[in-house]
């Protein structure tokens, strides 16, 4: 059977089947590349990095705001 026949039996495009086969070879270590597990870990790490960068930006802005609020003559009504 050809890949095209198998793809037709599975109801997928032949290129999809080629990609699955290539990924299976990567997962098995037969060819170099990123395994499925590594890809999932990278996706999660990127999400975590993005969240940490957003949190860092909020903290940076809060620190800048608070340092301005504590300057003498700012925000106080003392004479």
Q: Domain check: are 11 and 28 in the same one?
A: yes
Q: Domain check: are 3 and 28 in the same one?
A: yes
Please write the tens of the pLDDT for every residue from 19-77. Answer: 999 999 999 999 999 999 999 999 999 999 999 999 999 999 999 999 888 777 655 55
Q: Dihedral of the CA atoms 17, 34, 27, 25 (nearest 10)? A: 50
Residue 79, domain member (yes or no)? no
Q: Domain check: are 4 and 16 in the same one?
A: yes
- Residue 22 has a pLDDT of 95
Residue 56, domain member (yes or no)? yes
Range 2-16 average pLDDT: 95
Structural domain boundaries, residue 56: 35-70
- Residue 72 has a pLDDT of 73
- DSSP output for the chain: --HHHHHHHHTS-HHHHHHHHHHHHHHHTSS-S--HHHHHHHHHHHHHHHHHHHHHHHHHHHHHHHHHHTSTTSS----
- Cα 56 to Cα 47, 50, 69: the distances in Å are 14, 10, 20
Q: Domain check: are 59 and 49 in the same one?
A: yes
Residue 47, domain member (yes or no)? yes
| pTM for this prediction | 0.60
């Amino acid at each position: 059977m050809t890949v095209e026949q198998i793809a037709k039996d599975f109801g997928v495009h032949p290129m999809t089947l080629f990609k699955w086969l290539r990924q299976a070879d990567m997962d098995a270590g037969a060819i170099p590349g990123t395994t499925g597990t590594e890809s999932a870990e990278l996706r999660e790490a990127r999400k975590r990095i993005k969240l940490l960068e957003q949190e860092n930006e909020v903290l940076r802005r809060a620190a800048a705001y608070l340092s301005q609020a504590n300057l003498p003559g700012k925000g106080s009504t003392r004479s």
